[in-house]
Amino acid sequence: MPEKTTFYKPREKFICVANTGPLISAFQCKRVDLLQEIFLEIHIPRLVLKELKDHGWGDEIKGIIDLRFVRVHELTKKECDRAYGIAERIADSGKAKEKNPEYHLGEAHAIVLMENLEYADFLLLDEEAAREIAINLGLPVTGFAGTLLRCALDRIITPEDVEDLLKLCRANGSYYNDSFINNIILWVKEKLKNEKEGT
């Protein structure tokens, strides 16, 4: 079940900091427009931009940078040093599949950027171990699936669309297991039912 957060309450568009994974998911299912429905702008560290290019999404990320929807930030040496320490904590987590801190630098840089960007509302982060560390640091976290849920609650898409899009992402390489997908679909359907009934 998604975290209890103001992310699922109606308001104006949010500003977020994003890691690589949620942006890749949006590119995989060709629904960047859904990010634009929820977020006013997305901020990423330079390392996340590099990772997106390395994964073959250079043209896609350039397109939304050119639209000024995504803004790229350089971290200072001090911030990079802090990010490495966070990457080590992620690697040490029991939920981390990869134990090399270098593998987690993208998530760590996004966490540090979120810590320092006072006007950002949420950190868009999918990797479980990194989410755990970010939440322990007191940061408000959601992910690509959470963004789809918000779109469903706003009736931009249906719960069935959420399921189809997550399965499409999975078919293209993102990891969303059946249990996760089923649980969030049940959650959003129940939420919509309660809203309809006024409960």
**Residues 86-125: tens digit of each pLDDT:** 999 999 999 999 999 999 999 999 999 999 999 999 999 9
Q: Give domain limits for the chain.
A: 13-144
**13-144 carries CATH number 3.40.50.1010:** yes
CB burial readout 90-127, b (16+ within 10 A) else e: bbebeebeeeebeebbbbbbbbbbbbebeebbbbbbbb
Token pair 């859904």: residue: 34
**Residues 2-59: tens digit of each pLDDT:** 444 566 555 579 999 999 999 999 999 999 999 999 999 999 999 999 999 999 999 9
